[in-house]
Structure 1
Amino acid sequence: MERPNKRGLAGSDHSSDEPHRASTPHTLWQPISPPAKKRRLPEQPEQPRPPSNAPSQTFTSPFQLTTIRDLPDEFNKDTVTLNDLLGDPLISECWNFNYLHDIDFFMEAFDEDVRHLVNVHVVHGFWKRDSENKKSLEEQASRHKNVTLHAAYLPNMFGTHHTKMLIFLRRDDTAQVIIHTANMIARDWTNLSQAVWFSPLLPLQQPSTQPPPPTPPATQQHPGSGARFKIDLLNYLRAYEHRCRRIVDELTRYDFSAVRGALVASVPGKHSVDAATTRWGWAGMRQALEGVPLRKGEAEVVVQVSSIATLGGTDAWFKRTFCRAMGGRGGAEFKVVFPTADEIRRSLGGYESGASIHTKTQSAQQAKQLEYLRPVFCHWANDAPGGKDLGEDLVVKEAGRKRAAPHIKTYVRYGNKSDRSIDWAMVTSANLSKQAWGEATNAYGEMQIASYEVGVLVWPALFAQDAAMAATFLQDTVPGDGVEDGPVVALRLPYNLPLQPYGKQEVPWVATAKHTEPDRIGRLWVGHG
C-alpha cells in the first residue's frame, strides 16, 4: 500500500473531499440523513469555538481504522498502517507508550533513511527487576543505540500500563499526538481490528514580549478545546514523574489550539472525583460529557471492547458507577459488543486472534456477572447462527471488519429516533474494567484506579456550529456529493449494524477455556491464560 502524504493524514478534519429492532441503535433504523438547518437543541454550556476556516459542509471521520492484511481493497479504503504512523522522515523523536512492545518490529516501520537517527523512547509497565518482559525489552533495546526504555511504576498488582499512544517531535518544528488501540507487536497490525486518532501537526507557540498569563485550572477550560487537551495531556504525562519530564518540557512549547477532542485518561492511584485539576477514569469521562449537547429522547450507548474484567457478582458497579458516568445527563440504554467463540473461530486468524481478547466466566462470581451482562451483550459480527434472528426486512450496514477480530475499543452514544445522529464517540485503550475506569467512590469522595489508559472523546459541536455526526461504513467520509442541510461529521464504524443480541444460551469468547471445534484454519484451542 502506498504511503499517504503525512500532512494530509495528520488532520482528520478536512472537508470531504439479525436482532429485534429494540436492540439496534435507534440512529440506524433508517438511512442516514443530515439534520435540518433549523434544528433546535436544548441549552448547553458554551462550547469551544471551531476554527474560523473549518469546512462548512462535511468532515472526515476523526477516527481511522487500521489496514487488515487479508481483506480485499474495498474493505481497506481510508485505512492506515503502522508505516503510515511511523514512516515520516521528518520525525526526529518518538515517545511510544504501550502495553506490549516488539522493538525490532516497530523500528522497521520508521523511514529506512532516518530510523537510526530517530530518538526513540519506549514507555512500558514492566518495572520489576525479575520481569521476563522487562528482560526481553532490555535485550531488544540493546540492539538499537537510539532506543531508551522507561518503566512506569504500577503500585497495584492488578494494574497494567495499557495506554497506546505515540508522541512525535518533528524536524519541521511541529509535534503530533497519536492515540490508538494496538499493541506494538506484529499480530495487532495484521488481521485484528484497530483504530487510530491523529492530532493535527502542532506548531511552536508564537513568541511574545509579554510574560505568559497564569494557566487556569483544568476545570475552568472547556472540555474539547485544544487548551484543555494540552493541560490534561501534560498532567497525564506528569504522572510518570521523572520518566517523562523531557517530553513534558518539550510539549509545553507547542500550540494545541487546533485539537478537537477531549482527552479521557486514567493513571494509577487514589483520586478525588471532583479534583480541581485533571480528573481521571470515569470521573474524567463524566466531566467531559457535561459539556456535550445531547438530543432529547431515547438514546443508546454502545460499548465495544476487547476485554471485560471481573466487575462484581452484582451489577452495582456496572450500572451505578460506569453506566451513570457514561450516560451523561440524559441517561441511555447500554449495549456491550463482544465476540463469541464462534466469531473468533471464523475470524481471519482463527483461535489465535482470541489470544488478544479476554473475559472469564468460570468462577461463581463471573457466572453471576454473565447473567446480568447477557441481556446487553451483542455480537461483533451480526451473522452469528446462535444469535437472535435479524429478520429479513432490516438492511445490514456492512463495516467490512466482521472477520477481523476486535482489539479495538470504541464507545458511541447514538441519538434518538427522530434525530438519527451520533451524540459523541470515543476511541480509547480502556476496556470494560474497574482497573481501567476506577472503583466506585469511597466515603472520602475518592476512587481507586489501577492502570494507565488514554482515549479521545469527540462530538459534532467541536467541528462546526449545529453540526451532526453520522455513522459511515467502508469509508471515512459521508457518502454523496455533498450535504445541503447543514454540517455533518463522518464517524467510521468498525462493526456492522444493526447489532445482533446474543441468544439465550450464548456466552462470550473465553481465551482460557478449551475449544475443540476446529477454527477456519483447522486448529483447536487448548486454552491460554
Structure 2
Amino acid sequence: MKECPYGEKCYRKNPIHFGEFSHAHHAIYEKGNGSGDYEIPAKYSSEMIHTQLKLLEKLFPKAAAKKEEEAHSSSSKPPVTAPIASGSSSSGSLDTKPSGSSSSRPAASQDTSNLAKKQKLNAKNIKDYIPVVIEKGGMAKKLERAAPYNMFLTAITDSKPTHAEPLSITLQEILDESLGEIESTVQINFMVDIGWLLGHYYFAGILDKPLLVLYGDESPELLSIGKFKPQVTAIRVRMPTPFATSHTKMMFLGYTDGSMRVVISTANLYEDDWHNRTQGLWISPKLPALPEDADTGAGESLTGFKQDLMLYLVEYKISQLQPWIARIRKSDFSAINVFFLGSVPGGHRESSVRGHPWGHARLGSLLSKHATPIDDRIPVICQSSSIGSLGANVQAWIQQDFVNSLKKDSTPVGKLRQMPPFKMIYPSFGNVSGSHDGMLGGGCLPYGKNTNDKQPWLKDYLQQWKSSDRYRSRAMPHIKSYTRLNLEDQSVYWFVLTSANLSKAAWGCFNKNSNIQPCLRIANYEVGVLFLPRFVTGEDTFPLGNNRDGVPAFPLPYDVPLTPYAPDDKPFLMDYLQGLY
C-alpha cells in the first residue's frame, strides 16, 4: 500500500482514503482498544487524529482496529473502505481498491452474495457516510420556492435548524432525480476527494454516468482514477505560474431529456467543506435544449450569461470541454437572471465590444451600466475565507483598484464622486475558537501571519463573522461574497457570490503604465455570479430583512448590522493551527 503523500499532516477524514493509503500515525489506532482510548504521542495533532479515529469507529464499529490492521498488513485482502461503487456496472455494484494495485479489480473475484449483502448494508447506512440526509424527491420544489434568487447555503451538520431551512442544501439534493435524470456531469473545482465524491454519486444512483473532473490542487488519487473508474475523466488544470490557482467551483449537470443545469459554488469537493462550513451555491433553472434549426444566437439570457460562460470555458484550452461548450451553445439560457463573473489567468485589456472581460474590472463595467445610483456613503462590504497581500495601506490596491471598480453605478459620468467606505468580514480568533469544530474550524481560512504582519492597517476595517439569522455563527465561512447595502432603507443594491477571495490573484491588479492602455493582470481561474435587481426582480434594489411588495428579501448569508472587531480582537491566522496539524 502506498504511503499517504501528506504523511503525519494528513487532514483527510474519508475512510476510502485510509483504505488506499497507509498512514504511519494510524498505528495508534491498531493499538487502541476500540473504545476511544488512545495514547497519542505529543508530536501528532491529537485533535485531528481523534477526529479521524472517531470516524473509523463510527463506520466500522465491530472489530474496527483488527480489520484496519489486517488491511494494512495483508496484500491478499482488500482494505476496509466506505462505499465506492464500480464504474463498470450499470447496476451500481460495489468494489474496493486493493492494496497492491490501483488498476486491479478484486470485486469480480468476490462472492456475489457477500457483495450483494455489502451493497444492501451500505445503502441502509447512508447517514454513516453523509451526516445530513434530506428525503429524496423534493429538490425541484425547493428550487422553485427559492426563486427568484436560487441561492442556497450548505446545510451545517452540527446546526440542526439548518437541516430544515428552506434555503439550505446538501450535495445529494443537487443530484436529486426530481431536478432531472442525470446522464453526465462536469465538476470543475480546486480540491477534489474523488472517493468522497463518488460515494455521493453512488448514493444518488449515478455512479456509472460519465464524469469529467477538472481540478486544481494536486491529488494522487485522481492521477490514476480512470484505470479503475473508466467513466471518470480527470484533468488537472495547468497554470502559467507556480503561484496561480485553478480555484473555480462549478458544476454542469446534463439530463437525459437534452436539458442541462449550471451550479456555481464556493465549496471544494471534499467532506470538510460540506460539514460545518458556511458555503454558498447558485443553481440555475433547467436549461432546455434548443430546436435543431435555432439561430446561433438563440437562447441567450438578458445578462449575456451563456456567451460569457462559453468564452470562459474556451480559456481552459481543454479538448474534453468542447462537447460541453457545444451543448451550452445549443441550450436555452434565457431563464437565467444573473450575470456570469469570471477571472482567467493573463493580462487583459478593455475592448470596445465587451468592455473589461474579467476580474474586478468586469464587475465595474457591469455596475456602471446596470446598477442604480448609490450614495457614496454606502460601504463596499467584502467577505471571504482568505486574504491576499493587499499592499502597505488601504489606498495601494483596495481603493485604487478594487473598491474603485466596485463603487461604480449608472450615475452619469462627470459627477464628482467620493471613495465609499470599505468593510471586510473575516473571522476573528474568537469566532474560530468558538466554532462547531473549535480551532480546527479555521482549517478553511488560510490567511497567514507573514501576510497579516505586512498590513496592520487592515484590522481597522475588519468585521466579525456573525450569522445567527441563518444559524451559522459557529459555522466558519468558506463562502465569498461582495455587496453594497443600505440599512436605513433596508435595500441591497447588488450582490456577488463567487469563488474569489479578496486578493490580487483572484480579482486582478492593474498595470498602470501611463504609456499603454491599463492591463489587468489576473493569476487565478475564478467564477461567480452577480445579482443585479433590475434583472432579477425588475426593481432598483433588493429588499433586505423582510419581503417588499411581494418581492422576497435577499438571502444575505450573514447578520447586519455588522460587528466591528473590538480592540482586543485579532484575525484568525493559519499559523494558530501549527500545533494541531
Cα distance in 2 between the residues matched to 1:178 and 1:74 = 20
State the Cα distance separating 1:262 from its structure 2 match. 0.6
Equivalent-residue separation in structure 2 for 1:75 and 1:273 (angstroms) = 45
Counterpart mapping for 1:25-424 below 5 A: 59=148, 61-73=149-161, 76-78=164-166, 79-88=168-177, 90-110=181-201, 112=203, 114-126=205-217, 133-208=218-293, 212=296, 225-226=301-302, 228-243=304-319, 244-274=321-351, 276-277=353-354, 279-290=357-368, 291-296=370-375, 298-315=377-394, 316-329=396-409, 332-362=420-450, 366-371=452-457, 373-381=458-466, 398-415=469-486, 417=488, 419-424=489-494
Matched position secondary structure for 1:512: helix
Deviations 1:369-425 (A, max 9, x none): 122x1111000038xxxxxxxxxxxxxx733110011111111210363x3210011
> Structure 1 residues 119, 11: closer, same or farther in 2, change over 3 A?
farther
Q: Say whether the 8 Å CA contact 2:303–2:339 is kept in structure 1.
A: no
Amino acid of the structure 1 residue aligned with 2:491: S
Task: Give distance in 1, aligned partners of 2:189 and 2:142.
Answer: 22
Whole-angstrom distance in 2 between the partners of 1:242 and 1:75: 38
User: Where does residue 436 of structure 1 map in the other structure?
Assistant: 506
Distance 1:237 1:213, change over 3 A: closer
Higher mean alpha-carbon deviation, 164-173 vs 505-514, is at 505-514
After TM superposition, the structure 1 stretch with the greater mean CA deviation from structure 2, 197-206 or 437-446, is: 437-446
Quickly say closer, same or farther: Cα 1:442–1:191, change in 2 above 3 A: same
- Give the whole-Å Cα distance in 2 for the aligned partners of 1:286 and 1:527: 41
Partners of 1:404 and 1:113 in 2: how far apart? 26
What is the alpha-carbon distance in structure 1 between the residues aligned to residue 137 and residue 402 of structure 2? 39
Q: Contact 2:155/2:162 (CA < 8 Å) preserved in 1?
A: no
SS in 1 for 2:195: helix
Distance across 1 between alignment mates of 2:351 and 2:206 = 44
User: Whole-Å Cα distance in 2 between the matches of residues 434 and 4 of structure 1?
Assistant: 42
Following TM superposition, by how much is the alpha carbon of 1:230 offset from its aligned partner in structure 2, in angstroms? 0.5
User: How many Å apart are 1:141 and its aligned residue?
Assistant: 4.7
Query: Closer, same or farther in 2 for the Cα pair 1:343/1:212, shift >3 Å?
Result: closer
Q: TM-score, normalised by structure 1?
A: 0.76
Q: 1:111 to 1:489 in 2, by over 3 A?
A: farther
2:169 alignment partner, SS class: coil
Q: Return the alpha-carbon distance in structure 2 between the equivalents of residues 213 and 281 of structure 1.
A: 25
State the number of aligned residues: 430
Residue type of the partner of 1:279? P
Judge conservation of contact 2:310–2:325 (CA < 8 Å) in 1: yes
Moved more, 166-175 or 267-276: 267-276
* Higher relative contact order (CA closer than 8 Å, sequence separation 6+): 1
Distance in 1 between residues matched to 2:438 and 2:146, nearest whole Å: 36
Find the aligned partners of 1:214 and 1:73 in 2 and give their Cα distance: 43
Relative to structure 1, the CA distance from residue 235 to residue 360 in structure 2 (aligned partners, 3 Å threshold; closer, same or farther) is: same
Residue 11 of structure 1 and its aligned partner are, at CA, apart by 4.7
Q: When the two structures are superposed, what TM-score results if normalisation uses the length of structure 2?
A: 0.69
3-state secondary structure, aligned to 1:440:
strand
Superposition deviation, residue 338 in structure 1 = 0.4
Determine the C-alpha separation between the residues in 2 that align with 1:123 and 1:140: 13
Distance 1:201 1:145 in 2: 28
Matched, 1:455 2:528: yes
Q: In structure 1, give the amino acid aligned to 2:171.
A: L
The letter for the 1-side match of 2:523 is A
8 A contact 1:159–1:451 mirrored in 2: yes
Does the residue aligned with 1:447 lie in a helix, a strand or coil? strand
Q: Secondary structure at the match of 1:410?
A: strand
Going from structure 1 to structure 2, the CA distance change for 1:313 and 1:113 (only over 3 Å counts) comes to closer
Counterpart of 1:492?
A: 555
Cα distance in 2 for partners of 1:399, 1:237 equals: 34
Report the Cα distance in structure 1 between the residues aligned to 2:378 and 2:303, rounded to whole angstroms.
30
8 Å Cα contact 1:466/1:487 also seen in 2: no
Could you tell me how far 1:226 is from its partner in structure 2?
A: 4.4
**SS of structure 1 residue aligned to 2:432:** helix
* 1:76 positional shift: 4.4
SS in structure 2 at match of 1:342: helix
User: Helix, strand or coil: the match of 1:241?
Assistant: coil
**Residues of 2 paired with 1:12 and 1:238: CA distance?**
34
Please tell me the residue identity of whatever aligns with 2:569. E
Kept after mapping to 2: 8 A contact 1:460/1:489? no
- 1:214-261 Cα deviation digits (max 9, x unpaired): 99xxxxx9xxx4461001000000011134222111111001110000
What displacement does 1:489 show? Answer: 3.8
Identity in percent: 28
RMSD: 2.5
Query: 1:391 maps to what in 2?
Result: none
Runs of 5+ unmatched residues, structure 2: 1-133, 410-416
The structure with the largest helix share of the pair is 2
Asked if 2 retains the 8 angstrom alpha-carbon contact of 1:141 and 1:148, the reply is yes
Once the two structures are superposed, residues 1-55 of structure 1 have per-residue CA deviations (whole angstroms, 9 ceiling, x without a partner) of 22353433445764xxxxxxxxxxxxxxxxxxxxxxxxxxxxxxxxxxxxxxxxx
Is contact 1:7-1:201 (8 Å) kept? no
* Change over 3 Å in CA distance of 1:464–1:502 after alignment to 2: closer
8 Å contact from structure 1 (residues 86, 111) kept in 2: no
